[in-house]
């Protein structure tokens, strides 16, 4: 595995880079476009990584998998009374389906859905609610500590007019209670710092039916875990999930800072990172690394 990851990173570094670093959140535009990292951890706890593994980036939309897990831990399937299960076919920031569906978000991985999910995490203040999210990440990683990247959070909060519009929309229809609390907590989830080793570790319970295979602790019940992994497959990579299913064949959740979490059910959790994004908002090199690994190890769940 180690030599495969090393080779994949070397191959990608030798190919011409494609894609652009996200700049609609001004702070993200400062990322070094050439960063490249991949980590994998299997169910026995063996961890392998290659590239710029020590580099931390913000979770962005990858956080949506973990905020959904936390909401499911707290509320169980009631979560799906407020967000649906279906792909939208539209970009993550789109407000289109909201209009015709009484404001109910189609799924937890579009921004409106993630804002609704963030609103389900209890807390009287954004700090209190965010603390619960950080504690959950610590539990998933068996004790690692995580923190907010203040400049990214400020940047998102100052420029997130569209997300705030969506939150107001959700409030109008009664899907959330407190607009500021839901949207600011969502921005904080997105602005949490992580590296690929940590991200792969956080996702490991999703590869093992909701149980952390290293500690033996149950994190989530099986059906909640299955819902997350299934939604990652159908809705986890924006309006590109069909191509990802064909080319990589793994449940993935991507984010606009260039991170991707990929789950190989029953086997391992993989995290890839590189900041240049394709037109659908997924890391170009990250997707390519996952594709090469999936092909070499025949990991596709659709074989
Ligand atoms: N914080 C970002 C936003 O709301 C997350 C988007 C993403 O990673 O897809 O626009």
The ranges assigned to domains in the chain are 2-297
Q: What is the 3-state secondary structure (H, E, C) of 267-303?
A: CEEEEEECCEECCCCCEHHHHHHHHHHHHHHCCCCCC
User: Side-chain half-sphere of 93: how many Cα atoms within 13 Å?
Assistant: 13
Q: What's the 221 CA to ligand 1 centre distance in angstroms?
A: 27
Q: Please identify, in words, the CATH class of the domain defined by 2-297.
A: alpha beta
- How many other CB atoms are there within 10 angstroms of residue 227's CB atom? 20
On whether the CB atoms of residues 198 and 213 are closer than 8 A, the answer is: no
Ligand 1 atom with the smallest distance to the CA of 24 is 10
What is the tens place of the pLDDT at every residue in 126-156?
999 999 999 999 999 999 999 999 999 999 9
Q: Which helix (H) or strand (E) holds 107?
A: none
Is the CB of 65 within 6 Å of ligand 1?
no
Strand partners, 58: 193
Angstrom distance (rounded) from CA 226 to CA 220: 10
Instruction: Let me know if 24 is a catalytic residue.
Output: no
pTM above the 0.85 mark? Answer: yes
Q: What's the 111 CA to ligand 1 centre distance in angstroms?
A: 7
What is the tens place of the pLDDT at every residue in 83-123?
999 998 877 777 776 777 888 999 999 999 999 999 999 99
Least confident of 97-101, 171-175, 260-264, 277-281: 97-101
């Amino acid at each position: 595995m180690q030599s495969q990851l090393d080779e994949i990173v070397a191959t990608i570094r030798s190919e011409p880079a494609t894609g652009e670093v996200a700049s609609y959140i001004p702070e993200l535009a400062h990322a070094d476009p050439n960063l490249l990292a991949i980590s994998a951890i299997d169910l026995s706890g063996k961890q392998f990584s290659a590239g710029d593994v020590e580099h931390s980036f913000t979770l962005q939309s990858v956080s949506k998998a973990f905020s959904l897990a936390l909401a499911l831990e707290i509320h169980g399937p009631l979560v799906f009374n407020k967000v649906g299960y279906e792909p939208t076919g539209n970009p993550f920031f789109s407000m289109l389906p909201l209009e015709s569906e009484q404001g109910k978000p189609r799924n937890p991985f579009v921004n409106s859905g993630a804002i609704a999910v963030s609103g389900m995490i209890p807390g009287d203040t954004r700090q209190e609610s965010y603390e619960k999210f950080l504690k959950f990440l610590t539990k998933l990683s068996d004790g690692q500590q995580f923190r907010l990247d203040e400049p990214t959070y400020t940047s998102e909060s100052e420029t997130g007019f569209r997300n705030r519009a969506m939150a107001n929309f959700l409030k109008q229809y009664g899907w959330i209670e407190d607009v500021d609390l839901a949207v600011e907590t969502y921005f904080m989830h997105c602005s949490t710092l992580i590296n690929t080793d940590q991200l792969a570790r956080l996702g490991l319970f999703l590869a093992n039916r909701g149980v952390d295979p290293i500690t033996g602790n149950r994190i989530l019940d099986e059906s909640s875990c299955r819902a997350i992994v299934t939604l990652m497959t159908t809705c986890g990579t924006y309006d590109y999930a069909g191509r990802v299913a064909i080319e990589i064949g793994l449940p993935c959740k991507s984010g606009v800072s260039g991170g991707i979490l990929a789950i190989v059910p029953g086997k391992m959790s993989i995290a890839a990172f590189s900041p240049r994004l394709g037109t659908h908002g997924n890391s170009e090199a990250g997707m390519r690394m996952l594709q090469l690994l999936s092909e070499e190890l025949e990991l596709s769940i659709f074989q």
